[in-house]
Amino acid sequence: MILTCPECSTRYQAEEAKFLPAGRNVRCAKCGHVWHQAPPDAVAEMEPAVAEPEPAAPPEPPQPAPEPHVQAYVQTPSFAVESQENAPKPHAPWPRRLLLGAGWFVLAAIVILIGWVAMAYRQQIVGSWPQSASLYSTLGLKTDTNGFKFDNVKYRVQREDGQPVLAVSGALVNISNRALSVPQVRVTLTDDKGQELYHWSFAPSVMTLGPGQSTHFVTRVSSPPSAARHLDLRLARAGE
* Domain 148-235 -> CATH class: mainly beta
| Three-state DSSP state, 24 | strand
Model confidence pLDDT, tens digit, residues 43-77: 344 444 444 555 556 666 666 655 544 444 444 44
| pLDDT above 70 coverage of the chain, percent | 67
CA distance 192 to 195: 7
Least Cα distance to 200 among 211, 186, 214, 179 occurs for 186
CA distance 198 to 103: 54
Amino acid at 56: A
Model confidence pLDDT, tens digit, residues 125-146: 765 565 566 676 677 666 655 7
The beta strands (E) that lie in 122-211 are given as 148-160, 163-174, 180-181, 185-190, 196-202, 208-209
DSSP state letters, 46-98: ----PPPPPPPPPPPPPPPPPPPP-----PPPP-PPPPTTTSPPPPPPHHHHH
Domains of the chain: which residue ranges? 1-55, 96-145, 148-235
Model confidence pLDDT, tens digit, residues 207-239: 999 998 999 999 999 999 989 999 999 988 776
CA distance 211 to 226: 39
